[in-house]
Amino acid sequence: MKSRLMSVLGLVVFLGLGLGCCSKCEQGSVAVQTDPLPSWNEGAAKQSIVDFVARVTDEAGPDFVPASERIATFDNDGTLWAEQPMYFQLFFAIDRVKALASEHPEWTTEQPFKAVLEGDMEALAAAGEHGLLELVMATHAGMTTEEFEGIVLEWLVTAKHPKTNRPFTEMVYQPMLELLEYLRANDFKTYIVSGGGIEFMRPWTEAVYGIPPEQVVGSSIKTKFEYRDGNPVLIRLPELDFIDDKHDKPVGINSHIGRRPIAAFGNSDGDLQMLQWTAAGDGARFMLYVHHDDADREWAYDRESHIGRLDQGLAEAEQRGWTVVSMKNDWERIFP
């Protein structure tokens, strides 16, 4: 009887470990041997992901990586959600200018605000990087961090993408959601490392991607601690702190994570240094580019695009054998 009980116990413990017994686990286990990436078509790209995960999680294998070192970093714009016809954060800035216009009569004559209020995208483009920075400072600074969080969340509830008429948080890539979940189920810690605003992303990444605020790295403006009516607050200042793009993505990773990722995912030349930095570490490595080549279901752009240009990165990916995902061929569906 005892041995019978023990084998039942053994079976249950085995099943328990294999089936995600522990509700406290941040990163649950896969319930059954179904395809964890159902929106990925069978092919080299999908296979390369599954092979990599198998290698680094095989305790007996030569490429095993302890769970604490399984860091995976993802760009956001164009990698986890769409970025056309312009970065979604720019839609937010434009909507904020419109919402705040009545308090700023001078905006009717001052660029780049005049261009925004008149819907003159050509004039807005002509204002260049400096104009965009002015837009961001006028709309992202001057309030507490908590107030800004509320503004972002309120906007996400009402704003719609101009082409699809869907909320922006539904313009995320279903195959990438599955990939994030699959990596976490294999004890990876998933991070966003984006040129987008860190405090623009943090309010919603946990609900949308399962990525908590502390695992979001992005561009930032400075904040200042002060007391308002005796209560401590952080005020967002109209002063750049950090642009998390290109050669500064590894800087942001080092600052926030303090470890080198073993896997990195991007879609543009702005992600190239992050992929190079990831590739330069010891042991098993995985680098992946999402290639926007599906004009029917999403957008098609690469070497000549102003947004999300993928030129040098594509050449290096092909040369070094990194995974390049064809959205058209490798993804069975794009959006959820």
- Interacting span for a copy of itself (CB under 8 A) from 43-51, 131-139, 254-262, 285-293: 254-262
Nearer to a copy of itself, 17 or 54 (CB): 17
Number of residues that bind a copy of itself (CB under 8 A): 52
Which part of the chain contacts a copy of itself (CB under 8 A), choosing from 77-85, 122-130, 257-265, 311-319? 257-265
Q: Compute the distance between CA of residue 222 and CA of residue 239 in angstroms, rounded to an integer.
A: 6
Q: What is the DSSP letter of 167?
A: -
Q: What is the three-class DSSP state of 242?
A: strand
The least CB distance from residue 276 to a copy of itself, in Å, is 5
Binding of a copy of itself by 280 (CB under 8 A): yes
- Residue 202 binding a copy of itself, by CB under 8 A: yes
CA end-to-end span of the chain: 51
Q: At what angle do helices 248-256 and 272-279 cross, to 10 degrees?
A: 60
By CB under 8 A, residue 99 contacts a copy of itself: no
Q: 121 near 115, Cβ under 8 Å?
A: yes
Q: Interaction with a copy of itself in 6-25: which residues (CB under 8 A)?
A: 8-9, 12-13, 16-17, 20-25
* Closest C-alpha among 284, 286, 247 to residue 269: 247
Tokens coding 280: 């330069």
**What does the alpha-carbon distance between residue 306 and residue 309 come to, in Å, rounded to a whole number?**
6
Q: Is 56 in the site for a copy of itself (CB under 8 A)?
A: no
Task: Compute φ and ψ for 238, nearest 5 degrees.
Answer: -80, 60
Using CB under 8 A as the criterion, which residues of the chain lie in contact with a copy of itself when the complex forms?
5, 8-9, 12-13, 16-17, 20-27, 29, 67-68, 71, 145, 187, 189, 198-199, 202, 206, 212-214, 216, 220, 223-226, 231-232, 234, 247-248, 250-251, 254-259, 273, 276-277, 280
